[in-house]
Structure 1
């Protein structure tokens, strides 16, 4: 038996959406997990609900723990605080499983089908999802704060940005120029002038680099059906690889399937969904071309591998999401190496080159746009000890 003796959560005020979990066992091992959004709510679930049940249990019984923590009751039909807490615990238990076997997680899961995977760069900035994308210059426009402030770059000159990515070996990128136009109508309408403005970055990319780079369009679940149809039809001219989360209720298989019938732009979804059932329903409804999941939100690696099996059964490619934290990125990479139909691992070069490094000991190596397999046991990375010692750190332990 490998009895769980402690559950430790760490969050820092500088990154208020992120929370890390360390699960300790009686054999002296420690597993690392992570989740994102509502860190305080996740912390409460971890210590008030999860810890009283989990402490003293066998850390090797990952499936049993997942089944219990993902029980489909109130709060468990979306990526709720309960599911985000369960996801963090599950990732930590898989980290422990790999360490016990002295194997990387993807090998502990049964091995990989590849030893590297293609990356696409999400063109976010250094502070994306944490408040404040860039500084304002004197004329009111966004001012880049570093060479990888890619969210500013894709609105200023997406063609130049595409060339800079190609120069580093990236052959795929994701942008979201339509977001700014959703608020005026609540996402129910996009005018023709706004549509043309939103399409301009895609035109610039093709004019600058032709077909040398794949381009994904993120729509962030901001649109209702008719507006999403208009956007996706407009994207067809530019050979977009996918339109991601195009409608505001990504569990609506009927609406997505109807959208998919009206456009040649492939539909990708969804980082926002949790558990296997929504993915099963969307695939059965013929509503998705590409399956995307976020391991910090869907239930962790245990649910993630089941969703990957559904993607394989429906002959759909898989693309793990990360635009949140370094541990989720590493966990997603392990799944991408393990899952047969995985085609991409999302990365953000702005965060890889800066604050991700301040949080964990090892980050995935991206070599000419290819993400290499982690080498260490378990996830292959640890939270830097100094993170928990910061002045703005909030650390809570249940024993």
Structure 2
């Protein structure tokens, strides 16, 4: 047997969106999971609904646990608190599975298709996503280190591209249109704002030519008509993809209509939850690249189903990371396993700083490629000192080791 004996949640005030879950079994193993956004809501779901049901059950039966947790009476096919909680638990159970058998998760999934995968740098800064929302850059903001890349793409996109190339990155993602959405609630974008948003892409192309692939992130801020204008403006700049262009990425009809009218590939969507949503996205022929976040979509159990759907529809797969280190490790294992995966997203600012303050191991990036972890399970654990921080909130259910 491998009964669950304890479920523990840990969060820290410094990173209020992040929450970790540790699942302990009677064989003396601990699995680590994670999710992001609404940490307190997820904590409540885990302790009020999940832990009382999960404790005493066989941790090896990952699929039945997933099927139960992914089907709350309300909230399925979403990325709500119930599904984020299910995602974190699922990641912990896969971590346990790998540790139990002494193999990395990508091997537990059925084996790696590749031993390394290409990465791109999401050009966020050190404080991005740390608070209630995304950080916006003001005229008085100053870079706080060499990897404050959001400030860099706002003020010196050409220099940023050269910096990334010097470190071996050959792909980057930026979001210069975001500041212009608020004025109209994303309903329209004027020509002057459109040109201002296009300028960083033009400067990068002029500086580095075809040595850099560039992705445009639109953060689901725009109406379909405004997204159409932005995408059409990007068409001559050889953009690799435009990500989450419309405000409701679950409106697959509107997304498919947009895709038919533009010549830039669409990537979507980290915001969707569950395999059914991705099946509907693909059946609508509404995306060119499938992006998923394993801490939001249902974990690796749903993630591998989504990867299979992408493969069946001959679509590339690109796991998301701009949230936490455990999700990054989980995404990497799926990207190594899934046949159509083309990228694993990273943020060099977080890899170089606060991710290292939280976990024991992080992915190794060499010449723009991320290498396969070789440790059992997800290949990382929460540093022991995290739970003892003054700003830590730790809750336990069951009988801890």
**Is the TM value for this pair above 0.5?**
yes
Where does residue 167 of structure 1 map in the other structure?
166
Q: What CA distance in whole angstroms lies between the structure 1 residues aligned with 2:359 and 2:137?
A: 27
- Name the CA distance, whole Å, in 1 between partners of 2:214 and 2:252: 25
TM-score normalised by length of structure 1: 0.98
**1:41-52 map, 5 Å:** 41-52=41-52
Q: Is the 8 A contact 1:126 1:133 kept in 2?
A: no
Q: Which runs of 4+ in 1 moved over 3 A?
A: 131-136
Q: Given that residues 134 and 152 in structure 1 are in contact (C-alpha distance below 8 angstroms), is that contact kept between their aligned partners in structure 2? A: no
Provide the TM-score with structure 2 as the length reference: 0.98
Q: How do 1:181-260 residues align onto structure 2 when only pairs under 5 Å count?
A: 181-260=180-259
Residues in 2 aligned to 1:55 and 1:4: alpha-carbon distance in whole angstroms: 5
* 1:6-85 correspondence to structure 2 within 5 Å: 6-71=6-71, 73-85=73-85
**Equivalence map 1:1-399=2 (5 Å):** 1-71=1-71, 73-131=73-131, 133=135, 140-399=139-398
Q: Measure, in 2, the Cα distance between the counterparts of 1:277 and 1:109.
A: 20
Distance 1:188 1:178 in 2: 13
Distance 1:279 1:376 in 2: 31
Q: How far does the alpha carbon of each residue in 1:238-272 deviate from its partner, in whole angstroms, 9 at most, with x for none?
A: 10000000001101111011100110000000000
Measure how far apart 1:135 and its partner are. Answer: 8.5
RMSD value, Cα: 1.0
Aligned to 1:121, the other structure's residue is in SS state: strand
* Separation (CA, whole Å) in 1 of partners of 2:332 and 2:356: 17
Whole-Å separation in 1 of the counterparts to 2:289 and 2:250: 14
For 1:134 and 1:373, the matched residues in 2 are separated by: 34
Q: 1:272 to 1:135 in 2, by over 3 A?
A: closer
Aligned residues, how many?
396
Q: Give the 3-state SS of the residue equivalent to 1:396 in structure 2.
A: strand
**Distance of 2:252 and 2:350 partners within structure 1:** 33
Give the deviation of 1:141 after TM superposition: 3.2
- Unaligned stretches of 5+ residues in structure 2: none
Residues 135, 71 of structure 1: CA spacing in aligned structure 2 closer, same or farther, 3 A cutoff? closer
Partner secondary structure for residue 20 of structure 2: strand
What runs of 5+ residues in structure 1 fail to find an aligned partner?
A: none
Q: Secondary structure at the match of 2:321?
A: coil
Q: Cα offset for 1:133? A: 4.5
CA–CA distance in 1 between the matches of 2:118 and 2:72?
35
TM-superposed deviation, 1:39: 0.3
Per-residue CA deviations over 1:173-195 (Å, capped at 9, x if unaligned) read: 00000000001001010001000
CA contact (8 A) 1:17 1:38 kept: yes
1:4-51 CA distance string (max 9 Å, x none): 000000000000000000000000000000000000000000000001
State the Cα distance separating 1:142 from its structure 2 match. 2.3
1:296-324, Cα deviation, whole Å (9 max, x unpaired): 00000000000000000000000000000
Q: Distance in 2 between matches of 1:376 and 1:253?
A: 39
- Is the Cα contact below 8 Å between 2:136 and 2:179 reproduced in 1? no
Instruction: Work out the CA distance in 1 between the residues paired with 2:361 and 2:137.
Output: 30
Q: Give SS of 2:211's match.
A: coil
Distance in 2 between residues matched to 1:318 and 1:259, nearest whole Å: 20
CA contact (8 A) 1:173 1:216 kept: yes
Q: C-alpha deviations, 1:259-287, integer Å up to 9, x for none?
A: 00110000000000000111111111110
SS in 1 for 2:146: coil
Deviation at 1:89, TM superposition (A): 0.2
Query: What is the CA–CA distance in structure 1 between the aligned matches of 2:280 and 2:73, rounded to whole Å?
Result: 18
Deviation at 1:73? 2.6
Name the CA distance, whole Å, in 2 between partners of 1:328 and 1:231. 30
Cα offsets for 1:359-392 (capped at 9, x unmatched): 0000000011100001100011000000000000
Contact 2:72/2:82 (8 A) holds in 1: no
Q: Contact conserved, 1:135 with 1:145, CA < 8 A, in 2?
A: no
> What is the CA distance between 1:76 and its match in structure 2?
2.0
| Kept in 2: contact 1:134–1:145 (CA 8 A) | no
The DSSP-based 3-state class of the residue aligned with 1:211 is helix
Shift of 1:72: 5.2
